[in-house]
Structure 1
């Protein structure tokens, strides 16, 4: 390689490093306000001496129940506060059995891991559609909209751009709003997208996509799985849409169970720790 070629390669490498750094900073900036809000609530509620102690409290509950800090913080800031003096945060709550996921053998017995289930949801949807690009999003309790939780085959630029989407301008937003599957046969011409969103999708190599809402038993959309294709999509068969409906309804019911069981268990544990350690300084584990 010539000197000029080596210099160009070095410049490209530095540019990509800077882009990755910017993406990381954006990701941190998206989560930090929520974590800070949760820390403030915990400091006030348990008379903790500093924000570090509040973070340590969340970290311990997060690690014990294998719940992401962002998930725990989102539930914490939106849940009604516990009654003063109550040992339990959610007294009298009813526990139900973990729903079965019939669309994948790996999870018929139930793993309790949200990450593992979301990977299975994505893999199952992509197999049905016949592609290797896609993502799973979950609803953002604090801000509304959808956050990407799992993805495969998509560029870093795509994941950064669509890390959080609002209530319009994308096919997944429309599918969430209508609580129904949405097919985009050609990204380049479909009016559902804003122009920046269209450019970001095309830049990732996606030419068509299909979004499937993840719904609870009451019909509430709690997430989305989307498949992206590198070619225009003529449409899906009745069998494909039926299979995707199964993925969406079973996954939505499992996520609702996880929120009201595992995540609430984590909050109960946090409440017990906070009550026992009221006013004391805590350190991260």
Structure 2
């Protein structure tokens, strides 16, 4: 358990026990709940939260992602969008309501397979707070997922790749200036010795995040052709994410408002009956 010593007593840093991504998730959900309460005149925060949770579970979309969309989507800011762009690595991006998690999982599987790597992650910019969140992962320990769950600056290969929209190769994480001493300790304990981070940039040049493959040995052999292939797949995914946020998320936001409005009507009917 994380803690610090002051004299002969030990005090515990409770925030260290909570993954950073959970802290920003709670803030995002609270913002969406407040928005729903204001828009629909809902006095009970639990009722607004249930509207979010219902749609999140119905369409298998992360509550954090849905909440960010509810907080930021207005009818006046919506744009029309055509059919889903084809993905170079997956066939699961089409349909009426494709699952974002499926597409990210397919990108990660493709990345790990290209380099025969033991671990990897897809990290995307949070729509509300701007930092990088781990959205899909394979072969990573709980300690790694906790420590790197949300990154606000360039303190990792993935964060640097995202900020500069360039491929970042780290042959030895133990001596990389990208990482702090604490980061290096976590990487060492998790068996990560080297990394390759590839940015995800759409056709407008927006940096969505990065896909990272991780190696259990220093200075791994990396096929340049595989890097180019992954770069193409990552950009393909970024273009699809852009389409998803324009075409799919507004419909999910509408669904949240419909559930919230129905809850208000149901409560009003119950009050009249009583």
Matched, 1:221 2:215: no
Of 232, 243, 248 in structure 2, the residue corresponding to residue 257 of structure 1 is 243
Q: Structure 2 CA distance, aligned partners of 1:92 and 1:40? A: 21
Shift of 1:132: 2.2
Q: Which residue of 1 aligns with 2:178?
A: 192
Structure 2: give runs of 5+ residues left out of the alignment: 1-15, 269-274
Of 34, 37, 50 in structure 2, the residue corresponding to residue 43 of structure 1 is 37
Of 101, 108, 130 in structure 2, the residue corresponding to residue 122 of structure 1 is 108
Shift of 1:237: 3.0
SS of the residue 1:260 aligns to: helix
Q: Report Cα offsets for 1:135-159 as digits up to 9, x if no partner.
A: 1111112211100111111111000
Structure 1: give runs of 5+ residues left out of the alignment: 1-21, 83-88
- Superposed CA RMSD in Å reads 2.4
Shift of 1:228: 0.5
Query: What stretches of structure 1 move > 4 A for 4+ residues in a row?
Result: 22-28, 108-111, 275-282
Contact 1:209-1:227 at 8 Å conserved across structures: yes
Q: Report Cα offsets for 1:13-67 as digits up to 9, x if no partner.
A: xxxxxxxxx8567664442222112111111111012101111221233234332
SS of the residue 1:44 aligns to: helix
**Which aligned pairs between 1:22-41 and structure 2 lie closer than 5 A?**
28-41=22-35
Matched, 1:271 2:257: yes
Shift of 1:277: 5.1
Q: Which residue of 2 aligns with 1:85?
A: none
TM-score (normalizing by structure 1): 0.80
**Which aligned pairs between 1:201-212 and structure 2 lie closer than 5 A?**
201-212=187-198
Q: Structure 1 CA distance, aligned partners of 2:20 and 2:77? A: 38
Matched, 1:77 2:108: no
Evaluate the alpha carbon distance shift between residue 92 and residue 196 of structure 1 in structure 2; reply closer, same or farther with a 3 A threshold.
closer
Matched, 1:107 2:92: yes
Greater RCO, CA 8 A, separation 6+:
1
Evaluate the alpha carbon distance shift between residue 26 and residue 236 of structure 1 in structure 2; reply closer, same or farther with a 3 A threshold.
closer
